[in-house]
């Protein structure tokens, strides 16, 4: 049996604001944006080259969901974005206005720095220690 995570829901206040950040700032690909009703859309985004797991951008539909925006994990890092060049991506993201929570650290598993999306979700940007060498 083969299984994999196909999507992770991220509760957001507005579809278009979320697309502006994830596609416009982070450079994710828009996989799908299908209108399901007058108020609900099926919006999937993913980092370039990502083949299996997507983010489902889910607009909060009630007060309880709205309260969870930016705090879906109780203040812990929520999502992990792996890269082959953490300093390059951090520089690009800073230039685009992404807020980082401190300096890049060197851990046993690789380089890591925490950033937040505009909605308060914390992310780790990680370059694994075992990343293949970069060309050039």
Each residue's pLDDT tens digit, 3-45: 889 999 999 999 999 999 999 999 999 999 999 999 999 999 9
67: tokens are 């309260």
Decide if 1-69 and 70-136 have a common fold: yes
Judge contact between 81 and 22, C-beta under 8 A.
no
- pTM for the full predicted model: 0.89
- The domain spans of the chain are 1-69, 70-136
The band of 52, judged by pLDDT with boundaries at 50, 70 and 90, is: confident
State the pLDDT at residue 131.
53
Residue-wise pLDDT tens digits, 58-117? 999 999 999 999 999 998 999 999 999 999 999 999 999 999 999 999 999 999 999 999
Judge contact between 52 and 2, C-beta under 8 A.
no
2: tokens are 């083969």
Determine the topology of domain 70-136 in CATH: 2,3-Dihydroxybiphenyl 1,2-Dioxygenase; domain 1 (3.10.180)
52: tokens are 């299996």
CATH of domain 1-69: 3.10.180.10
* DSSP states along 28-60: -EEEEEEE-SSS-EEEEEE-TT--S-EEEEEE-
């Amino acid at each position: 049996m083969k299984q994999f995570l196909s999507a992770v829901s991220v509760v957001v206040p507005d579809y278009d604001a979320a697309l502006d950040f994830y596609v416009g700032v982070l450079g994710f690909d828009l996989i799908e944006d299908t209108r399901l009703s007058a108020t609900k859309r099926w919006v999937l985004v993913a980092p370039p080259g990502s083949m299996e797991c997507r983010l489902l951008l889910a607009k909060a539909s009630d007060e309880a969901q709205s309260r969870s925006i930016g705090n879906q994990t109780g203040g812990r890092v929520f999502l992990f974005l792996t890269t082959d060049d953490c300093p390059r991506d951090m520089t690009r993201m800073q230039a685009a206005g992404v807020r980082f929570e401190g300096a890049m650290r060197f851990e046993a598993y690789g380089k890591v720095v925490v950033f937040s999306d505009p909605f308060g979700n914390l992310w780790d940007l990680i370059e694994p220690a075992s990343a293949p060498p970069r060309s050039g």
